[in-house]
Amino acid sequence: MKQPAFRLEPVLRLRRTEERAASLAAAAAARDAAAAAERAVQDAEALSTRSVPRAASGAAFVAAMVASATAAADVSEARAIARARSEQAEAVRARWTAAAQRTKGLERLRERHLDALRAAAETAEARTVDDLVTGRHGRRPQDGEEGTTWTD
């Protein structure tokens, strides 16, 4: 006898695929966020090592200050990008979590289905055994057969 299939199996496969895609996207977003944070740290370290030349003309001094201001703006921008990538990674991670929860719900339904099938099979087997036992006991010996009853 063929067991009835779990009717939501195609949906479960789709959910598992969605969860895998979401996990890959979350990993990529986390890598991007980490790289952006590292770049911001490197830019900040590079800015902190900058110095103004001591014996410089006024034009060289102004150029050094403009370069430092530009570097500071770059550090600020790198930090903003790192913060945005971190928020984006968190949003992608939340989508992954939601996909995992949807998948888990269907997996629980599938397990309940399999448990119900096992219980039905065990019940049918027990019923068959009971029918065999009670069928043998209920038969009366035919002519020429020796029969024993439970009271003998």
Structure confidence by residue, pLDDT tens digits, 69-116: 888 898 999 999 999 999 999 999 999 999 999 999 999 999 999 999
pLDDT score of 129: 87
pLDDT score of 143: 57
Binned at pLDDT 50, 70 and 90, residue 141 comes out as low
Q: pTM (2 decimals)? A: 0.66
User: Is the torsion defined by CA of 17, 23, 26, 32 positive or negative?
Assistant: negative
65-84 exposure pattern, b = at least 16 Cβ within 10 A, e = fewer: eeeeeebeebbeebbebbee
Q: Average the pLDDT over 19-44 and give the result.
A: 95
pLDDT score of 144: 56
Binned at pLDDT 50, 70 and 90, residue 63 comes out as confident
Tell me which residue has tokens 């929860």. Answer: 101
